[in-house]
Amino acid sequence: MRKIKCPECGAETIWENNEYRPFCSERCKLLDLGAWASGEYGLPVEPTNLTEEELAELEKLSEAKAGNER
């Protein structure tokens, strides 16, 4: 049996027949999903050069989103 460490809590778990792999449990799987959904995790991206119009549009969208969350 191949054992791995859960990426969320570090507990040792068996890889084969583990429905939550690479996690040890449903709880750890959901904690990881929640971290992605809340923006705690992200993928590295190359910075892009935006035009003034694109920057203004992003700022406008950001302000609109902030207004909707109140």
In the chain, the percentage of residues whose pLDDT exceeds 90 is: 59
Q: For residue 66, is it left (φ>0), alpha (ψ between -120 and 50) or beta?
A: alpha
Per-residue pLDDT at 59 exceeds 60: yes
Rounded CA-CA distance 9/7 in Å is: 6
For the chain, domains (ranges, CATH) are 1-42 (3.30.50.10)
Q: How would you classify the pairing of strands 3-5 and 12-14?
A: antiparallel
CA distance readout (Å), 11 to 7, 8, 33, 57, 67? 8, 8, 18, 45, 42
Give the mean pLDDT of 1-24: 95
